[in-house]
Amino acid sequence: MTTALIWFRRDLRLADNPALMAALEAHQRVVPVYVHAPDEEAPWAPGAASRWWLHHSLSALDAELRERGSSLHVARGPTLATLRALLRIHDASAIYWNRLYEPAIRARDTRIKQALIDDGIDACSFKAGVLFEPWEIRTGQDQPYRVFTPFWRKARSQLQVRPPLPKPESLVPSAGKAGLRLAELELLPRIRWDRGFHEEWTPGEMGGHAAFDRFLGSGLRDYADARDRPDRQGTSRLSAHLHFGEISPMQIAWTLEERVHQAGDSARSAGAESFLREIGWREFSQHLLFNFPHMPEQNLNPRFDDFRWGDEDAVAIRRWQQGRTGIPIIDAGMRELWATGIMHNRVRMLVASFLTKNLRQHWLHGARWFWETLVDADLANNSQGWQWTAGCGVDASPYFRIFNPVSQSGKFDPRGDYVRRWVPELAGVAAALIHQPWNDPAVLEATGYPAPMVDLGASRAVALAAYQQMPR
């Protein structure tokens, strides 16, 4: 009986798992393993919120494996030495995994693959977490795209959906010794700040598909408009499930094609195409990270290397992190993030604009805070998103486009429902004042809500002046 390892990373599902399927087709026994080695992902090892999700996702995967007669062998790194030990323990002659594209992980995986091949091990990797490999979509000059619209136009024209690969019905149990208990990885917080997470999320493959089914049933028809409304449940809430590979982009694309487009419902088809375009943004972020691996740390637009950000202000950054800026929509977003590990995408743009332009703090301060607090923290999406709003990325919102949080709040949260939910001290404030309660000092005195930490108009003018002074 030949044995192979299936090395799980951020592909924590059994369905539509190319590495798992290939291993099962070639070997009689497949041993599922997970190796924890966060130091090898430095400086962007998973943050606290991501670790919470990872713990519960691994637990869900292990439960599904046990239902099929197997289990997840949990181990701790360094990865190459640990994989070599696991190969010996289980008398395995091959190892299979699905590819990741972050610079540190990609370099590590390349070294591991070559080392194992040199050992005489069959080491095979597969595409599983993207619709297109990051090197597949190129311009006519064989260059990486730097603008989303032509990237997605070409990618969409080349997209060929396929039926998702099935889950295995049963697995041969491992003959080797058991691994670590999941709790030994110490992924969960010691101070219970995660209580709100349990109310919001069900990590794991089943949770991902349940969220997708809910979205298909109630959110797709109005998605193009509702996705911008933080006061509504208008988004898919799939970002963390996608990041951890509990559902694949191909499963989503196939389902949209089979259940929506072919049904002939024009409204749902429009929503499906709008949603698929958002999956395209995720693809674009992976494309950028692969082709510009400095993106998490350095400006994609080198002009901004000479931009004069404001002096680092630890007090201002802390007030922003805690949702005590005195701007209701900003505070609502930051408090939602802390309580649930997520923030509505429209509000993410607003809080990022406020930090980088009204407070004139470097975008890396925001990227690092999001990395620590988002359950869906993804290096490609996070880096690209912050650079987009800060104006220093490719295909970025221009720096001089400074979101007005008051007008944005009034447009996308017109009755103030989102603000009232996350800034409860303002729950009783009338709609006319909910977005700018400082217009009535009595409201601030009665509620204890702080006055704005900056004047929005004056801080906007300072930011624009700094932009004008940037060398051309």
What is the average pLDDT across 133-141? Answer: 97
Compute the distance between CA of residue 93 and CA of residue 90 in angstroms, rounded to an integer: 9
Cα 427 from chain centre: 30
For residue 180, pLDDT over 70 is answered with yes
Contact between 3 and 90 (Cβ < 8 Å): yes
Query: Cα separations (Å) of 291 from 2, 100, 121?
Result: 38, 14, 30
Determine the pLDDT at residue 262.
67
Quick one: average pLDDT of 421-439?
A: 97
Name residues whose C-beta falls within 8 Å of residue 467's C-beta, 6 or more positions apart in sequence.
307, 391, 399, 400
Q: Would you call 222 exposed, middle or buried from its count of C-beta atoms within 10 A (0-12, 13-18, 19+)?
A: middle
Regarding whether 336 and 273 lie in a shared domain, the answer is no
Task: Indicate if 229 and 308 belong to the same structural domain.
Answer: no
Q: Indicate the SS3 state at residue 303.
A: helix
If asked whether residues 440 and 353 sit together in one domain, one would say: yes
Q: What percent of the chain has pLDDT over 90?
A: 90
Q: Is the alpha carbon torsion for 181, 187, 193, 196 positive or negative?
A: negative
Q: What is the CATH number of the domain that holds 366?
A: 1.10.579.10
12-35 average pLDDT score: 98
For residue 424, give its domain range: 302-468
- State the average pLDDT for the chain: 95
- Dist CA 5 CA 96 (whole Å): 6
**pLDDT above 70: percentage of residues in the chain:** 99
Instruction: Give the CATH number, domain containing residue 114.
Output: 3.40.50.620
- Does pLDDT of 175 surpass 80? no
Residue 334 lies in a domain: yes
54 & 115 share domain: yes
The rounded distance, in Å, linking the Cα atoms of 24 and 94 is 11
Q: How many domains does the chain have?
A: 3
Residues 40 and 79 placed together within one structural domain of the fold: yes
| pLDDT higher at 328 or 225 | 328
Q: Is residue 192 part of a domain?
A: no
What pLDDT is stored for residue 263 in this prediction?
Answer: 64
Whether residue 174 is contained in a domain is answered as: no
- Spatial separation of the C-alpha atoms in residues 102 and 278, rounded to whole Å: 20
Beta bridge partners of 75: 35
**Residue 1, pLDDT above cutoff 90:** no
State the Cα–Cα distance between residues 367 and 289, nearest whole angstrom.
Answer: 15
Residues 278 and 348 in one domain: no
Alpha-carbon span 365 to 313, nearest angstrom:
10
Residue 66: what are its φ and ψ, rounded to 5°? Answer: -65, -35
Same domain, 159 and 264: yes
pLDDT in tens, 367-397: 999 999 999 999 999 999 999 999 999 887 8
Token code pair at residue 86: 């696991």
Whether the model clears a pTM of 0.95, i.e. scores above it, the answer is yes
Alpha-helix runs per DSSP H in 391-423: 405-412, 417-422
